[in-house]
């Protein structure tokens, strides 16, 4: 697949992801370069390769075979890349999952993924252990305990501590000969409702998008230092804060705990981060930190990468005016592995999601799968060589979603005359007011342009006549108090900037909007609130 310059993206036929993303850095003479910053530690590429090789030898000694599944319930510490690449080097299929789940969730993952081995952080153990004990097919369990507080009696039967299990294994290991079409990683895609489903990806997918998006579009380079707000168990951060920097010999910063907005500024300053990977919600909260541009040295920062939900133009402008740094807002999916539409350095259109990444193609279609005219809203069908194979154990949904290299999701867009994409929401989120489709994103962007509004979520409700109208749930800026007068003022603000039928008829003030773990608004929850009335 050629890029804009006509150079094809070549994915090798023989492909072990641990070799491509990590081991090859040693051959490039980067063994002494820092791969991972963690607290006061700096882990070199040589250190990381050696420790991951110990994990490779461990899983082989445990009798695991290529394509056996490994479930990762790890926090963002150096043990994550050590275990992850150790498993990949042995040919295992890696399945990262959230460390924020419940026992019932982990029981679901054990039954759904059927891993042969689980790497779990000590902080997750209390919630994971009951699911492990009750599992029909109990996997091997390796526990990461950085604090060295656990003893054998604290572990589930048969479990081992990682630092003890690898100590006698050599720091060298031959990579399993793998094919680019071998299954390599499963990525969780929860959608808006129901249990998570996993997208099955081959090794090829990760290399293609890394070159097309991270290297050629964003221009990630060896001198970059990445820092992420999302955690590595999200595919978005797994790539942006580990795979992408490792592919060029750059460095990443790992932070295991949840971070306050002010702390991100301190982390950027401390590690001289050049690229901050985040979501619009976090950007908005960081903007509320007073005097950050004067209190912290942010001169290293060259750009922000944003995804998860569309970034309002007002938020982009406020950030750019205060800090002089561009935000590259884009959209991707677990189904396509990562971002395929994005703004990029020197080419940002405020409020849009940018242009398509070279190597990908698209169609916008109506409900009958017919192309919509340019400028009209349609459902996105994205096509590219990083498309997943299917959802595991979701045959019917897979056949509706995956069509060769094309993926049809539920996202609605329109494309302007210059080729920039404008996000309009999910298909089931669209409102139909006065017989016309209304994008909740358009109304939300208008709402957050009001000086009192920090964030907003919009859903539909039925009025007394049974007609659908827009209802806004509003999170106010610090220091602003809810009132009927303010609600009326916000409605009038929308009427002044939108067609009257698009303006919300109701405004309800909330302390915080319900969100998914990836920062997206839980519109299903908002719809329940709307049913309760004003």
Nearest to residue 306, comparing CAs of 350, 254, 343?
343
CA–chain centroid gap for 102, Å, is: 20
Does residue 252 share a domain with residue 165? Answer: no
* Residue 25: inside a domain: no
Does residue 275 share a domain with residue 399? Answer: yes
* CA 220 – CA 330 distance, rounded (Å): 16
What are 376's two structure tokens?
A: 């009209």
> Residue 310 — pLDDT band, cuts 50, 70, 90?
confident
What are 54's two structure tokens?
A: 């110990």
Asked if 272 contacts 303 with a C-beta cutoff of 8 angstroms, the reply is no
Note the pLDDT tens digit of each residue in 447-477. 999 999 999 999 988 777 566 788 999 999 9
Does residue 208 share a domain with residue 173? Answer: no
* CA 366 – CA 192 distance, rounded (Å): 21
Number of residues written out for the chain: 534
In which domain, by residue range, is 57 found?
Answer: 45-178
* Residue 329: inside a domain: yes
Does residue 463 share a domain with residue 354? Answer: no
* Residue 27: inside a domain: no
* CA 75 – CA 388 distance, rounded (Å): 25
* Residue 459: inside a domain: yes
Over residues 423-446, the mean pLDDT reads 75
- Final residue in a domain of this structure, among 426, 451, 468: 426
Residue 441: which residues within 8 A CB-CB, separation 6 or more?
A: 310, 423, 424, 425
Asked if 430 contacts 378 with a C-beta cutoff of 8 angstroms, the reply is no
Nearest to residue 22, comparing CAs of 78, 92, 81?
81
Does residue 296 share a domain with residue 153? Answer: no
Over residues 196-210, the mean pLDDT reads 96
Residue 28: which residues within 8 A CB-CB, separation 6 or more?
A: 249
Does residue 213 share a domain with residue 157? Answer: no
* Residue 523: inside a domain: yes
CATH number assigned to the domain comprising residue 516: 3.30.300.30
Does residue 451 share a domain with residue 499? Answer: yes
* CA 217 – CA 344 distance, rounded (Å): 7
CATH number assigned to the domain comprising residue 405: 3.40.50.12780
* CA 508 – CA 482 distance, rounded (Å): 9
Strand partners, 187: 199
Q: Decide the pairing of beta strands 406-415 and 355-356.
A: unpaired
Rounded to the nearest integer, the mean pLDDT of the chain is: 92
* CA 276 – CA 261 distance, rounded (Å): 13
Does residue 251 share a domain with residue 134? Answer: no
What are 392's two structure tokens?
A: 């595991």
- Final residue in a domain of this structure, among 426, 443, 463: 426
> Residue 309 — pLDDT band, cuts 50, 70, 90?
confident
For residue 193, pLDDT beyond 70: no
Q: Which residue has the higher pLDDT, 73 or 428?
A: 73
CATH number assigned to the domain comprising residue 84: 3.40.50.980
Number of Cβ within a 10 Å radius of residue 395: 10
What angle do helix axes 45-61 and 79-89 make, rounded to 10 degrees?
60
pLDDT at 39: 97
pLDDT at 414: 92
Note the pLDDT tens digit of each residue in 112-136. 999 999 999 999 999 999 999 999 9
* CA 4 – CA 501 distance, rounded (Å): 42
For residue 151, pLDDT beyond 90: no
* Residue 19: inside a domain: no
* Residue 517: inside a domain: yes
Does residue 260 share a domain with residue 312? Answer: yes
Note the pLDDT tens digit of each residue in 360-381. 999 999 888 899 998 898 999 9
Does residue 410 share a domain with residue 276? Answer: yes
Q: Decide the pairing of beta strands 183-189 and 197-202.
A: antiparallel
Does residue 446 share a domain with residue 364? Answer: no
* CA 403 – CA 324 distance, rounded (Å): 42
Does residue 257 share a domain with residue 117? Answer: no
* CA 428 – CA 430 distance, rounded (Å): 6
Note the pLDDT tens digit of each residue in 18-70. 999 999 999 999 999 999 999 999 999 999 999 999 999 999 999 999 999 99
Residue 306: which residues within 8 A CB-CB, separation 6 or more?
A: 278, 279, 280, 283, 327, 328, 329, 330
For residue 349, pLDDT beyond 80: yes
């Amino acid at each position: 697949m050629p890029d804009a310059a006509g150079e094809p993206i070549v994915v090798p036929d023989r492909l072990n992801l641990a070799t491509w993303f990590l081991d090859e850095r040693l051959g490039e003479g980067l063994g002494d370069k820092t791969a991972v910053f963690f607290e006061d530690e700096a882990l070199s590429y040589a250190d990381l390769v050696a420790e991951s090789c110990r994990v490779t030898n461990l899983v082989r000694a445990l009798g695991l075979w290529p394509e056996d599944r490994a479930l990762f319930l790890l926090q963002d510490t150096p043990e994550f890349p050590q275990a992850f690449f150790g498993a990949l080097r042995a040919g295992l299929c890696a399945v990262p999952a959230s460390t924020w789940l419940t026992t019932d969730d982990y029981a679901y993952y054990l039954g759904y993924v059927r891993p042969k081995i689980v790497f779990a952080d000590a902080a997750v153990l209390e919630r994971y252990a009951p699911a492990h004990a009750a599992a029909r097919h109990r996997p091997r369990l390796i526990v990461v305990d950085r604090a060295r507080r656990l003893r054998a009696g604290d572990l589930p039967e048969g479990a081992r501590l990682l630092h003890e299990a690898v100590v006698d294994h050599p720091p060298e290991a031959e990579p399993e000969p793998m094919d680019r079409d071998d299954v390599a990683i499963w990525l969780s895609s929860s959608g808006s409702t129901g249990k998570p489903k996993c997208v099955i990806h081959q090794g090829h997918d990760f290399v293609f998008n890394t070159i097309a998006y991270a290297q050629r579009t964003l221009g990630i380079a060896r001198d970059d230092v990445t820092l992420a707000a999302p955690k590595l168990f999200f595919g978005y951060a797994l790539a942006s804060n580990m795979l992408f920097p490792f592919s060029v010999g750059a460095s990443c910063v790992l932070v295991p705990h949840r971070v306050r907005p002010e702390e991100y500024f301190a982390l950027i300053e401390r590690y001289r981060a050049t690229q901050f990977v985040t979501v619009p919600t976090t950007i908005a909260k960081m903007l509320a930190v007073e005097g950050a541009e004067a209190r912290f040295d942010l001169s290293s920062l060259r750009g922000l990468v944003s995804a998860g939900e569309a970034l309002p133009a007002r938020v982009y402008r406020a950030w750019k005016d205060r800090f002089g740094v561009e935000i590259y807002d884009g959209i991707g999916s677990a189904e396509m592995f990562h971002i395929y539409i994005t703004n990029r350095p020197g080419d940002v259109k405020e409020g849009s999601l940018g242009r398509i990444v070279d190597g990908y193609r698209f169609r916008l279609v109506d409900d009958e799968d017919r192309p919509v005219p340019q400028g009209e809203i349609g459902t996105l069908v994205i096509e590219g060589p990083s498309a997943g194979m299917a959802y595991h154990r979701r045959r019917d949904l897979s056949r509706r979603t995956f069509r060769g290299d094309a993926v049809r999701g539920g996202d609605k867009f329109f494309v302007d005359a210059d080729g920039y994409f404008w996000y309009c929401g999910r298909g089931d989120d669209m409102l139909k007011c006065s017989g016309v489709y209304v994008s909740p994103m358009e109304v939300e962007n208008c709402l957050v342009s009001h000086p009192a509004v920090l964030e907003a979520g919009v859903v539909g409700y039925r009025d007394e006549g049974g007609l659908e109208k827009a209802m806004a749930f509003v999170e106010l800026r610090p220091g602003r108090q809810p009132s009927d007068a303010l609600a009326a003022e916000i409605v009038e603000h929308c009427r002044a900037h939108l067609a009257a039928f698009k303006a919300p008829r109701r405004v309800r003030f909330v302390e915080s909007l319900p969100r998914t773990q990836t920062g997206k608004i839980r519109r299903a929850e908002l719809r329940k609130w709307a049913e309760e009335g004003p």
